Structure 1
Amino acid sequence: MKKIVLIALTLIATFSAKAQIEPDPTKWAYGLKKLSGNTYEVHLLCTIKAPWHIYAQKQGKDFIGTATKISFAKQPGLTLIGKPIEKGKLEKFVNKEVDIVNLEYKDKVDFVQKVTIKPGIKEIKGTVHYQTCTDERCLPEASVSFTIPVN
């Protein structure tokens, strides 16, 4: 009888732990678009499942959460032009209880970085650091690495 109870408790604990692990509700796709000559756009497209959102790169001073940060690996022959821009529907979430405004994207957002690429560059590498939340809770911060071939 003790063995049955012990096995039952072990199974319950195992399934409870697995139920609490939330899969990342984002999917990332990466691409490169040639503009002219050696000038390109790097596209980092994030698709987000409802009811989740990710935060914009720029936030106000009282922001709570982790703003999205995009980092490119330094390599000779790759020059970033300006900072990544965001293409998507930017929403403002106002938490009236603590008087804080968060800037966020739901559904999808495309982070676009203009670059120049000298001949010989075979790929562009980097990392996106972000946090996924609903209006009630957040997942731990996450990072995804990307490698985009240059053809």
Structure 2
Amino acid sequence: MNSKKLCTAILIAALPVCGFAQEVKKNENVQIVEKVILSPEQVKELKKEQKRIRQEQKQAQKERKRELKRQKNIIKYKRRIEKSTAKLHKEKEKLHLAQYEYHNDLQAGKLSQMEELKGKAKLLKQESKVKDLQIDIQEYKNTIDELMKQ
């Protein structure tokens, strides 16, 4: 019996405390709702702020894309320089070999006038290839320099 009376006494004492706790919770909810409910000016300001943030994010994304594109272009032109340099070395070797053969045949007197003219034309053609490759390489280097300055 005593335990039943003790439990009842505890419950009776706890009821007002529970009611107070519920009322505190209600007050907190009202404060939260008051914080959530904004004036129209505050709503406009928040929308402007959100719009500004979105624009900044878009601008930052554009900058990242631009930088990535610039880096890709630099890599692309460096590869072109490598390929053109390899071609240039091959063409120079061919030119030197053709010049050597032409001058040896010319000194030996093995060439007729027609063969001599054909040999000169061949040498000029190879020299123009070498010059074209040198110009291409220089253009690629200039492009890389411009990209690096950006």
**What TM-score, normalized by structure 2, do the two folds share?**
0.25
Q: Based on CA coordinates, which of the two structures has the bigger radius of gyration?
A: 2
Please identify which structure carries the higher helix content.
2
**What TM-score, normalized by structure 1, do the two folds share?**
0.24
